[in-house]
Amino acid sequence: MPNTKRRRLVASAVAVTLGTTALAACGSSDDGDAQSGPVSLTYWTWTPGMDKVVDLWNKGPGKKDQITVTVKKQASGDTLVTKILTAHKAGKAPDLVQAEYQALPTLVSNDALADISGEVADAKGKFAEGVWQQTTLGTDAVYAVPQDIGPMMFYYREDLFKEYGLKVPTTWDEFADTARALKKKAPDKDLTTFSANDSGLFAGLAQQAGAKWWTTSGDKWKVGIDDAATQKVAKFWGDLVKEGAIDNQPMYTPAWNKALNTGKQIAWVSAVWAPGTLTTAAPDTKGKWAMAPLPQWSASENVTGSWGGSSTAVTTDSQHKEAAAKFAAWLNTDRDALNALAKESGIYPASTSAQLSGAFTTPPEYFSNQADFYTTAAEIAETTAPSAWGPNVNVAYTTFKDAFGAAAKNKSDFTAALKTMQDDTVADMKKQGFEVAE
C-alpha cells in the first residue's frame, strides 16, 4: 500500500515538473495513443534481480515518459503459462510477461499476447535472425522482444580429456567414438549421459539437426516431431545408450552432480548458461572444464540448437500496450539495461551487441581458464538454427519425458518413443480443435 501511494506521489510530482517536456517528446514519436498522464505497468517475470533492472527504467527513461513498471516475481515454467492464461480469461493478465520462446505459440493461440510490431520493429536488427523469428511465429506480427538465449555448446573436462588422450569431437560420429574410446580406457567412467528429464535439451539437439517440429501451411498445422532429422538424433542417442557407451541416468539429480564433481562423467552437452549450473553441481572441478562448439552432423556444417531462453511480451489485456512495448524494447536492447541484466540476473542476452560488452568481456569465474569463453559463445550463438514451436509444446515435452525416460531406463528403442511423442502431440492438437495436416 505505501508503495503505490509513494509511486503515485512521485508520478504526479514528475508530471508537474517534466510534464511539458515529456509530452513534447512523446508527441513526435507516438502515434496518438490515449497516453495522457502517468502510466503504471505490471510485469510478471522470474528473472532474479529484475526488480533492480526495472529500477533503472523507473528512475531513467521511464521517469521521463511517465511509465512506471512494477515487477511481480513469479516461478518459471509451464505453470506460469497456465497462470497467465487463467488471468487472461478473467481479463486480468499483467501488462508485461516473461515467456519462454516455446510458450509463445500457446499464448498467441489463446489470444493472450498483443502484436507489437508497430512499436518494436526497429529492434529487429539487434538480434540474430533465428532468434527474432521465434517472436514472429513466421507471421508479420511481432509478439515479443527476445531477452535471453541459450545457444548449445559442448562442455568437457579439459584435464581428463588430456589424461585419457581424447580429442574434442567436432562431429557426432567423433562424439560416439570418443564415448567408446573412454569406455575402453576407463570402463567405470562415462563421457556423458542421456537424460530425458529436460525436454529442452532434446528439442535443441533436434533443432540443430534441422528438425521443424511445428509448421503451418494455410490454416493447418503440421507436426514434424517424427521427421527424419529428429529420428536421426533419437537413433544416435538411443544406440549409444543401448550399447552402454554413455550413461542413461537423468541429470540434475544429486547423483548426477556427484558424477560431474568426481569426474565420473567428463562431458556435458549443454548451453551457454552451463557455468552457473556447474558452479553449484560440480564446485570441486572449477577451472578444469572447457567449452567447445557442439559436434556437427557433418564436418562442413556449423549450426547449433538452443536450449532455454525467453522473451518479454505485452498482453492483450494491457491498457497501455504502447508504453509496455516501449519498456520491452528498452529492457532488451538498451546498453545499460542489458549490462544490468547480465550483472544482476546473470542472463546471456539475445541482443547481439550486448554479447561482447560489459559483463561479457571476461569469462565466467568458473571458466577463468578459458579467456575467450564469451567470444566463442557469441560466434556459436550466431549459428543458432531457427526453431519452430507449436501451440502445445507442453504436451510434447511431457510425452518426451515419459516416453524417452522409459526408453532410456530400459535401453529400448528411441524411435518408438519418438513416434509416441508425435502421436500424442497430434492427438492433443486435434482435441484442442486445431486443424492438423497428416
Partner 1 sequence: MSSLALRKAAPAAGTTPGTAQGPPLRRRIALVPTVALLLGALYCLLPVAWVVIASTKSGSELFSTFTFLPGTGFTENLSDLSAYRDGVYWQWMGNSALYAGLGALLSTAVSSVSGYALATYRFRGREAIFNVLLAGVLMPPVILAVPQYLLLAQANLTDSYLSVLLPQILSPYGVYLSRIYAAAAVPADVVEAARMDGANEWRIFTRIALPMMIPGLVTVFLFQFVAVWNNFLLPFIMLSDDEKFPITLGLYTLLEQGANTPALYTLLITGAFLAVLPLVALFLVVQRFWSLDLLSGAVKS
Residues that bind partner 1 in the complex, under the rule CB under 8 A: 42, 44, 46-48, 51, 72-77, 79, 83, 86-87, 89-92, 94, 100, 148, 150, 198, 200, 254, 257-258, 261-262, 271, 273, 276-277, 279-281, 283-284, 307-310, 345-348
Nearer to partner 1, 306 or 425 (CB): 306
Whether 52 and 43 have beta carbons less than 8 Å apart is answered as no
Report, in Å, the least distance between residue 222 CB and partner 1.
Answer: 27
First to last CA, the chain: 55
Question: What DSSP letter does each residue of 306-369 carry, written as one string?
Answer: EEEEEEEEEBTT-S-HHHHHHHHHHHHH-HHHHHHIIIII---BSBGGGGGSGGGGS--GGGTT
Decide whether 148 or 322 has the Cβ nearer to partner 1. Answer: 148
Smallest separation (angstroms) from partner 1 to the CB of 378: 16
Q: How far is the CB of 276 from partner 1 (least distance, A)?
A: 5
Nearer to partner 1, 272 or 337 (CB): 272
Give backbone dihedrals phi and psi of 113, rounded to 5 degrees, phi first: -110, 140
Question: Minimal distance in Å, beta carbon 403 to partner 1?
Answer: 21
Instruction: Scan for cell 559483463, then name that residue.
Output: 359
Q: In the complex, what is the shortest distance from the CB of residue 24 to partner 1, in angstroms, rounded to a whole number?
A: 35
| Nearer CB in complex with partner 1: 169/349 | 349
Sequence-distant (≥ 6) Cβ neighbours of residue 174 within 8 angstroms: 167, 295
Q: How far is CA 277 from the centre of its chain?
A: 15
Whole-angstrom distance, CA of residue 390 vs CA of residue 425:
10
Cell numbers at 258, concatenated: 556427484
| Nearest distance in Å: CB 105, partner 1 | 17
Segment (H or E) for 286: none
Q: Write the CB contacts of 231 (distance below 8 Å, at least 6 apart in sequence).
A: 415, 418
Positive or negative: CA dihedral 283, 368, 270, 171? negative
Least CB distance to partner 1 at residue 98 (A) = 8
Q: Which is nearer to partner 1, 203 or 325 (CB)?
A: 203
Round to whole Å and give the CA distance between 208 and 213.
12
Helix (H) or strand (E) holding 301: none
Tell me which long-range contacts 399-402 makes (C-beta under 8 A, separation of at least 24): 399/424, 399/425, 400/196, 400/199, 400/202, 401/196, 401/197, 401/199
Nearer to partner 1, 73 or 409 (CB): 73
231 vs 270, which CB is nearer to partner 1?
270
Q: Which is nearer to partner 1, 62 or 204 (CB)?
A: 204
To partner 1, the closest distance from the beta carbon of 46 in angstroms equals 5
Q: How many CB atoms are closer than 10 A to CB 233?
A: 24
The least distance separating partner 1 from the CB of residue 278, rounded to whole angstroms, comes to 9
The three-state secondary structure class of 66 is coil
CB of 394 to partner 1, least distance (A): 14
Pairing of strands 220-223, 214-217: antiparallel
- Cβ proximity to partner 1: between 264 and 419 the closer is 264
Element (H, E) at 214: strand 214-217
**Which of 62, 275 has the CB closer to partner 1?**
275
122: cell is 526497429
Quick one: 117 or 345, whose CB is closer to partner 1? 345
Q: Strand, helix or coil at 65? A: helix
C-alpha grid cell, residue 252: 540434475
